[in-house]
Chain A
């Protein structure tokens, strides 16, 4: 069992007082015995001073001095211990208040703070540090909660639509093969969208857990492959892709880096305008994309890298995607120690640059 600090303090006070008191008394008694004092000689009846007798106990009766001294010492020692107990309790009161507040704060009430107003620097610092910690935890919990709420919303919506589609189609007494077939086709399309969402969520969760492996990667090659795979999709949307791919390399997980590049490109192609452009450049250890598109207010650029954030939702229902692409880019970049910089030109569209740390040279494997 752990000892209480207050008890320790009380015992320490009492103990120190007792020890110093004992030392003091010992000094006094030592002085008695060593003769280093002037004895008032008993005055003889003849008026002569009587010479001190070395054999006789010097001075006063020892027991008469020592006993009251010991009793006094014990008494004051006890009083000191008691005072130590009281003072320790007072000094530690802010600590107890902090403990009580911290105990009351749970995952549901992380917004409350200790808010300690102590005149003592140590306690004030401790309180502020704990409040800081709670603040960070609160923010982390809140973003986690938002993420779960958003994910469940995104996952439930297609389920709702699928169920409503099928139930309405089945409840139609005049349903024929055509209407039922149309309903089935819509359910299948919704299922495919759900599959993409789940893939994106899994990629995001996987990249948040850090890297399992790192290997030297040909960044330019990965980008070239991803660009080729998207030429048709881009052409269908009337978007031209220009690629200027100088040799570029990075260390990382090949699947995650491919996913990063794919999400960057998809984002640039989807959120574009007909007749628009996507320009991809690789150099050194980085990849940079520039795409035309709607004007993004500069204040919204950071927000777009948060999960489930979209620039806006159009009048004609949901836009493509779930707002996870750039969040995945950011998470994968963070896992690789890469920096992501994004800028929204006033003319519209988005510039994104991802720079990986320089590969470790001369390493094997």
Chain B
């Protein structure tokens, strides 16, 4: 899941980036609203965590433009102003969720995941396909009841494929969903990760390669 954090407090922005990445999300961090709009124009984010009081373009305006663009990106607004009136105003602007500062990091992660499930085609909280089960919240995966020891990237790739329910996902899209810009990856990174994932999943491999297309999970 690709997430953009827009927060002007440098330490907070960095901390949120670190924490969310550790949860297996691909996270980009920007410090002002103008940069946020630039990124959103280039990358399709699943969730934007948006501080309402960012400099440059105000958070409200970023939110309005995202909503006006009819994008599938979900917006989680963060703000120090947490009165009912503020929350209502934020949601009316087009935010999908609202979290008042100070918040619990675990709650932020849960809300980001919940919003991510609703970006694009809705997916259930626990993904299943054949004998494969993946719980993005607990970051665990099982095959036939056997736990799989996957790295965060492998887990994220599998999550992305399972979420499509058998539809083809291109390598470029996997790159966009799973790796953030700090990783500076290439498409062969995807290939290697898929290779390692296949080895860990065992035979018969549930991941199919589609020539000139990408990858998909084999639906039984």
Contacts and interface: CB of A to CB of B under 8 A. Distances in A.
A168 B80 contact: no
A11 interface: no
B38 to A, nearest CB: 13
Contact of B19 (A153, A156, A164, A186): A164
Interface stretch (B65-73, B90-98, B100-108): B100-108
Contact of B9 (A167, A312, A314, A318): A318
Interface stretch (B10-18, B115-123, B142-150, B195-203): B10-18
A317 B80 CA distance: 16
B81 A315 contact: no
A28 to B, nearest CB: 74
B104 A312 contact: no
Interface in B140-187: none
A163 interface: yes
Given A163-B104, A168-B105, A157 B9 contact: yes
A152 B105 contact: no
Nearest to B55: A313
A159 B102 contact: yes
A172 interface: yes
Nearest to B18: A168
A157 B22 contact: no
Contact of A164 (B10, B56, B105): B105
B15 A161 contact: yes
A209 interface: no
B15 A168 contact: yes
A160 B101 contact: yes
What range describes how many residues of A lie at the interface? 20 to 34
A102 B115 CA distance: 47
A190 B55 contact: no
A187 B125 CA distance: 34
Given A156-B101, A156-B102, A313-B8, A164 B81 contact: no
Interface in B1-60: 8-13, 15-16, 18-19, 22, 31-32, 53, 55-56
A317 B102 contact: no
A318 B19 CA distance: 21
Given A156-B80, A167-B106, A168-B18, A312 B101 contact: no
A316 B32 CA distance: 9
Given A149-B81, A156-B80, A160-B101, A168 B19 contact: yes
B19 A171 contact: yes
A165 interface: yes
Nearest to A168: B19
A49 to B, nearest CB: 99
Given A156-B80, A157-B101, A164 B55 contact: no
B27 to A, nearest CB: 12
Given A163-B102, A168-B105, A317-B8, A312 B15 contact: no
Contacts of A318: 8-10
B11 A167 contact: no
A168 B103 CA distance: 12
A164 B102 CA distance: 8
Interface of A: 149, 152-153, 156-157, 159-165, 167-168, 171-172, 186, 190, 312-318
Q: What 5 pairs between A and B have smallest CB-CB spacing?
A: A317-B10, A168-B19, A313-B55, A160-B102, A167-B105
